[in-house]
Structure formats: structure tokens, C-alpha cells
Amino acid sequence: MPIEDLHVVEEVPLFSLRGVTKNFGAVKALQGVDFDVYAGEVVAVVGDNGAGKTTLVKVLAGDHRATSGEILYQGEPVTIDSPADARELGIATVFQDLALCDNLDVVANLFLGREVGDMALDEVEMEQRAWALLRQLSAKLPTVRTPIASLSGGQRQTVAIARSLVGEPTVVVLDEPTAALGVAQTAEVLNLIERLRESGLGVVLISHNMADVQAVADRVVVLRLGKNNGEFRVPDVSYEQIIAAITGATDNAVSRRAQASTEGRQP
């Protein structure tokens, strides 16, 4: 399905990439990638190992600066040179390793580096805000004073997602949020993603799990060898079609246009 048909209502995306490339020496990790995220939708980015998903996440997060191309935030060109730039624009990233401190409790992990209070920490206010963030996600934790080390995988992911909301972002990037989780914990995380969408946030879901993608995503963008190789509305695409785009076993309008666009930009 052509990209133009995916959004009938004309609106400005929260975030867009236009012809973005990322090179590491002679290695072209991303080649002319186009990508949009709208408010109140979940966009899944899928692809095989080496497709460019991790590089895309790091460009969005500000860990890597794009080599070329244009990045737009709410229709305006922006430059993302650092994680601080991404946060200032309202882009929050939850990496696969979560980066939680096991020896600290939930409250401390949520506000680490953003503590409330100057000379003396306002523990009461931070605890109240912690519960407010968890309620926003309809998350269930027995207490916010338990050490992270004692939480389940799903609960740890809950804390990491709640932490991403502290800065009141408009786009949340989730890097393989259900990896290594059991069925019940996966369902818990998918519910959290639904809550993010219902809050009007744009969500970018990086995932290998097609069941998760088909359960919560509105659109799916396929990367193959660093290039766009398909973009689909999830209700209109089959599992087999997504896999075919991932493996390169299919040809479609998006992949042909992406290839032509990339070749046109080559000197």
C-alpha cells in the first residue's frame, strides 16, 4: 500500500525522517530512510539482524548523529546531536537493557538525575509523582519502595517506561520491550503500550516479535539492509507479507521508490 494512503487525515507528524543516512566509515547502516510518527499511534519498526534498527534507535535517541538527510519535529527541521537534544525535543527512549539500578528502589530509579529538591530531596513529592506516573500507565506495583532487583521482568519494563514519561515526552521509542519476557509479562507490557497510545503519544516499537507487532501496532515499517523495504497498515497486511518484506522475498511500491530515491541521491 502506498505511503500516501496510510494517513487519510492530513496532519503534521510528530516526528519525521527524510532520506536519513548513517555511515560508519565504509559501512552504510542507514540508507535514505523515510519514517513518520503521528500522535496517538504505534509504529513498529521490524527487520532482520543488521537491517539498521539499532542504528535508527540511536539516531532517534541522539546517540548517533545522522550522516545526511533531514529530521523534522512537528514539521520543523531540527538537529539531534546528543541525548539531551532528543529529550529537549520530547523524544524519550527505553533501551533494551533498561539501564535500571538494581540496588535502588522504584522512586530512585524514576528520578535518578532529576531529583526533586535542592539541598534536601523531597521524598514525599517524588513518591507521589511516582504513583501518578504508574497510574497513568494503569500499572500495578505493590510498592514504589521495593528495590528494582526484586521485580519481575515485566515490572522492570514498567518502571523503565514510567521513567521515560518523567520529562513529559511526545514520542516514546521502545527497543525490544518484550524480549526475554514470558507470556503474562509480555501481555503486561503490551497493555502499557496501549496506555501510551491512549495518552496521545507517538510510540515507536522496535521488535522481532510479529505477534506483538500485530497486537498493538497501527503501522509497520520494514527495514532491510539499511533501507525502507515496506510500510503497511497492520489491519491490511498479513504475517506472511511482513516476513516477505523482511527477508527481501517480495517487491513492492515502497521498496522500489526507496531504491530509486537512494540511487538518485548517490553522486
159 within domain boundaries: no
66 within domain boundaries: yes
Rounded Cα distance, 161 and 98, in Å: 9
47 within domain boundaries: yes
Q: How many domains does the chain contain in total? A: 1
The CATH number assigned to the domain holding 247 equals 3.40.50.300
What pLDDT is recorded for position 258? 47
112 within domain boundaries: no
191 within domain boundaries: yes
What pLDDT is recorded for position 248? 86
* Domain span including residue 211: 3-97+171-265
- pLDDT tens profile 151-171: 999 999 999 999 999 989 999
- pLDDT tens profile 79-131: 999 999 999 999 999 999 899 999 999 999 999 877 765 545 788 888 999 99
181 within domain boundaries: yes
Q: Is residue 95 within 8 Å of residue 161, measured between CB atoms?
A: no
Q: Is residue 218 within 8 Å of residue 234, measured between CB atoms?
A: yes
Q: How many CA atoms lie within 13 A of 59 on its CB side?
A: 32
DSSP single-letter state for residue 19: E
134 within domain boundaries: no
DSSP string covering 79-113, please?
A: ---SHHHHHHHTEEEE-TTTT--TTSBHHHHHHTT
254 within domain boundaries: yes
The pTM score is: 0.86
Three-class secondary structure of residue 50 per DSSP = coil
- pLDDT tens profile 25-65: 999 999 999 999 999 999 999 999 999 999 999 999 999 99
- pLDDT tens profile 218-266: 999 999 999 999 999 999 999 999 999 999 876 555 555 545 544 554 4
